[in-house]
Structure 1
Amino acid sequence: MKLPNGVDVMLDQYREPIIKGEGVTDSERYLASIAEKTFLNLWSYPNPYRDQKSDVKAIGKELCDLLVVCDRHIIIFSEKSIAWPSGEPRVAWGRWVKSAVRDSVKQLKGAERWLKEHPDRLFLDKFCKVQFPISLPSMENASIHRIVVVKGASDICRKHHGGGRGSLIINPGIQGDDHWPIDVNDNTPFSIGDIDPNGGFVHVLDEITMDIILGELDTIRDLTDYLTKKEKFFRSGHMPLVKGEENLLAYYATRINDDGEHEFVANESGEFLVKEDEYREWVSNPRYLAKKEADRISYLWDELISSFASNMLNGTSIVLDGYDFEMKRNEIAVRYMALEHRFRRRSHGEAVLGALREGARRDRFFRLMIPLEDSSDNETAFFILVLKYPDFIDNYEKYRQVRTRTAEVYAKGVLVKFPYLKRVVGISREPPEQGHGVSEDIVFAEQYDWSDEDRDDIQKECNEIGVLQGQLVPRTLEGQEYPEVEEIVLEFAHESSSGQRMNRRQRRAQKAKRRKKT
């Protein structure tokens, strides 16, 4: 955010910044940095603590290596970097998997148990003075995912298999203690199945697949959708042996169910066949490259989220007169922005960029991004309000108050006009390059059981300042997650069977998921 000209920095409003852990080891710090890109900084916390202090040391105990909390989603990470031990493969694997995986699972179970029993006893510092800043969901509604990240076996795995990327094999036939049998001859080196078949599912990522999974599924929504569907698929009895999580991801990413969502879909014969080169074919397909190019605009949405989140964490978000700040309340608006998946963020980025360009030519411009009523994901709408800083207002804070209150009127007006919505999030700012600098404000409003008097008052407010007058001009935004391309690279001389070609019903379903009124 560029500080507007003539603005009092209002240092008296600044709060103590929230200091997060950074990870203790190099590998923990790397995990934290990757996670922050995927989940953004307001929802990922390395090395949180529980106030379960011992008599010897008056400090808390580390809960886990990384905790992600966003809305109903909780992701618990345990990371282990274990050097490969000596011995022939079956013996060495047995030692390594116990140290790397079994011990991590114990940490995950302890962390989950603590969160369920003591959700209010979670801290950012080892002295347990700084409370965890984000509200945890109720455990009845929480969706908890457990991820073990293990490092130290990839090079040996690559040599063992005579090539490949060195990622671990996913073998659903291995259950529980079969991963570390008493007789080492029963070991299945470099293979992972269902670690805790009678408990919550545990995902195991290695140093190869961690980067791929968190890099490709780089929103909280995209990752948790994948984890949820993978858990269900794994325990359905249909999961085949998969040579590397990256190939499972590619299979998922290139298949769409009849609702327009990514899914583990069987082929025409009812089989689930995940090829050994599924990932290579996916990332070298021209449509994958076209998707990456089309996604570039979506990171404008990420930049807006990061701007609000960083100011909240750093204690530098300015609160206007008549308002107050509380992290657990103010985080909610930005959270709903973060819950949008990458494909939807693409249309949001396009809408925001277009609104900024249009706003540069007008005194006020409003753009509403709203799901259709009959869509499956129709609860949250977003808007951007671009309002010029008029010359007759000589106080920037006064202008900002006018802008925020105008945005609040828009928010209430939208909820009344579209009663199927549950909430609306609005962003307001001045147009780019106006010359005064730039600031952004965010408003959040939830649906309410409006009385006739409430509706009349809201309509009166709208009329007084010219908000939502007349008909909104709809503009449908359509597109494909994997855009069609005109040129095909020479390596692909045959029709791919990877599932990237969708039938007409699936194409329509995916377009409907993205479609917006503006």
Structure 2
Amino acid sequence: MSFNESEERLGELTRKTFLSMWSYQNPHYAKGKELCDALVVFGDDMIIISDKLIRFDEKASSDVAWKRWYKKAITGSIRQLRGALSQITKFPQNIFCDVHASSPFPLKIPSPEKMRVHLIAVANGAENICLESLGHPGLRIDTQCNVDSTFMTVGTKYPEFIHIFSKTSLEAIFDCFDTTRDLIDYLRRKQEALSEPERFLICGEENLVAAYVCSQPGNGDFHIPSETFHTVQGVKLIPAGLWNMYMESEIRAERNRIRAPSYTIDNLINHIATEFNSGSLIVGQDKPFSHHEKYFRIMASESRLSRQTISATLQDIISEDPSTFWCSISESKDKPGLLYLWLVYPIIPKSVTDEQLEEFLCTHLRDHITVALYKFPYAKYIFGICLPNTASDRNSHGFQVSSGEFRSSELKEEADKLEREQGILAHIQTYNIMSQRL
């Protein structure tokens, strides 16, 4: 299947943020019948994206050209989004990953009563005209507009809430929100804020994004800072220029520097997906895709900030003495009671096969999780990840998830024995990690 420039960009951005397990480009509902341009299913959240690249007719009068472009780029996308949502809701079993409708969609579609739907229309082709006429490349958003009556202006309620992005807006969003959790949070908080009776006038979505990402106090939650927007004649105004200021700011440079190590989490999730899709998993290849997706969605649900704190404990041990095992534990910022146990294994003799290594790692990781369940009695879940020291030439990874519901007197005896006889987690502090956050 061939993609135009806009579709290729959309595919790259969605795979980066949602990762390959949850993002599917150009799914179909029947042979030769495209459902939408991109579909993301992440638990009960579903993002449907329609991407249109429509040339703006600069030879026609601005009013005529705008109405023509609007009909194809905006109205056309809204029609596709409505049709896709209807099709998914009525016939969730008829979704396929290929044009021949021979490869069934691998993820479970949430039931209509649980489904949280986010509709996105990407409208390309009018940025130059928008920049020339309005002074910013992103379409103007007026929350009281839902027709083509105002030049270069779109709304949000048609009557369903629809996010309409231009190229600049789309790239700004995926630049700032490169985890599923962060992007969905932004879409949800934006919808909540812009659904208020108060009227908003936004000079390009990219400027709303800038205001949002600069709203985070320390390590707290982001929010739409409506209280900071100037009100002009009863209208909340988000001016142009905020995005450019953010892009050139020290805030962005520092933000990118700090979060760089957190991409270890993204790489781990993509690693297991790649291994599974290629049939290369030594342990777990016999399990269905849904088995792996369910557990890796736990890790993929972490925000970028939470991934920073989780990966920081890994960075502390990944390059330590490669002659022995190293273990560290951190708690999710987003989900109190969810602990991540990192187990870094040493250089392994070449005489040990990959199959032997992975069997040993599975046992060793399980033993560490067993002890951790009692070292941290408040833990609801422990997600264990085993991976090589940076000095190792092996690439075997192990992943296990255990629930606090598995605790029992027999397992407690086993945990005590493992700690006493093998020294597993014998010297780790049993404090509540929650209290140690910055």
Per the TM superposition, whether the score is higher than 0.5 is: yes
Q: What per-residue deviation string (whole Å, max 9, x for no partner) do you get for residues 191-224 of structure 1?
A: 1112422x3x110001121111112211111111
Alignment of 1:304-453 (within 5 A): 304-319=268-283, 324-358=286-320, 360-361=321-322, 363-371=324-332, 377-388=335-346, 391=349, 394-434=352-392, 436-448=393-405, 450-453=407-410
Q: Which runs of 5+ in 1 are unaligned?
A: 1-21, 52-58, 181-186, 478-511
How far does residue 289 in structure 1 lie from its aligned partner after superposition?
1.4
Question: Which residue number corresponds to residue 504 of structure 1?
Answer: none
Alignment partner of 2:94 out of 121, 130, 138: 121
In the alignment, does 2:257 pair up with 1:286? no
- Matched residues in 2 for 1:318 and 1:333: separation? 18
How far does residue 91 in structure 1 lie from its aligned partner after superposition?
2.2
Whether contact under 8 Å (2:122, 2:170) holds in the other structure is yes
Question: Which residue number corresponds to residue 301 of structure 1?
Answer: 265
Q: Which runs of 5+ in 2 are unaligned?
A: none
Alignment of 1:470-489 (within 5 A): 470-472=427-429
Whether contact under 8 Å (1:47, 1:64) holds in the other structure is yes
Q: What per-residue deviation string (whole Å, max 9, x for no partner) do you get for residues 287-337 of structure 1?
A: 2211122222222222222222222233322226xx832111012232222
TM-score, normalised relative to structure 2: 0.89
Whether contact under 8 Å (2:313, 2:330) holds in the other structure is yes
| 2:336 alignment partner, SS class | coil
Q: Give, as a single letter, the amino acid of the residue that structure 2 aligns with 1:148.
A: A
Alignment partner of 2:18 out of 33, 39, 43: 39
Whether contact under 8 Å (1:49, 1:128) holds in the other structure is yes
Question: Which residue number corresponds to residue 178 of structure 2?
Answer: 218
Whether contact under 8 Å (1:255, 1:263) holds in the other structure is yes
Whether contact under 8 Å (1:48, 1:66) holds in the other structure is yes
Alignment partner of 1:168 out of 139, 150, 157: 139
In the alignment, does 2:424 pair up with 1:467? yes
Number of aligned residues: 433
Higher relative contact order (CA 8 A, sep 6+): 1
- Give the alignment's Cα RMSD to 1 decimal: 2.8
| 2:319 alignment partner, SS class | helix
In the alignment, does 2:6 pair up with 1:27? yes
- Matched residues in 1 for 2:166 and 2:324: separation? 53
Alignment partner of 1:156 out of 129, 132, 145: 129
Q: Give, as a single letter, the amino acid of the residue that structure 1 aligns with 2:405.
A: Y
- Matched residues in 2 for 1:81 and 1:122: separation? 24
How far does residue 104 in structure 1 lie from its aligned partner after superposition?
1.0
Whether contact under 8 Å (2:346, 2:389) holds in the other structure is yes
Closer/same/farther in 2, CA of residues 170 and 379 from structure 1, 3 Å limit: farther
- Matched residues in 1 for 2:13 and 2:132: separation? 27
Q: Give, as a single letter, the amino acid of the residue that structure 2 aligns with 1:94.
A: K
Whether contact under 8 Å (2:52, 2:124) holds in the other structure is yes
Alignment partner of 1:66 out of 9, 19, 38: 38
- Matched residues in 1 for 2:68 and 2:273: separation? 43
How far does residue 397 in structure 1 lie from its aligned partner after superposition?
2.1
Whether contact under 8 Å (1:256, 1:265) holds in the other structure is no
Whether contact under 8 Å (2:373, 2:407) holds in the other structure is no
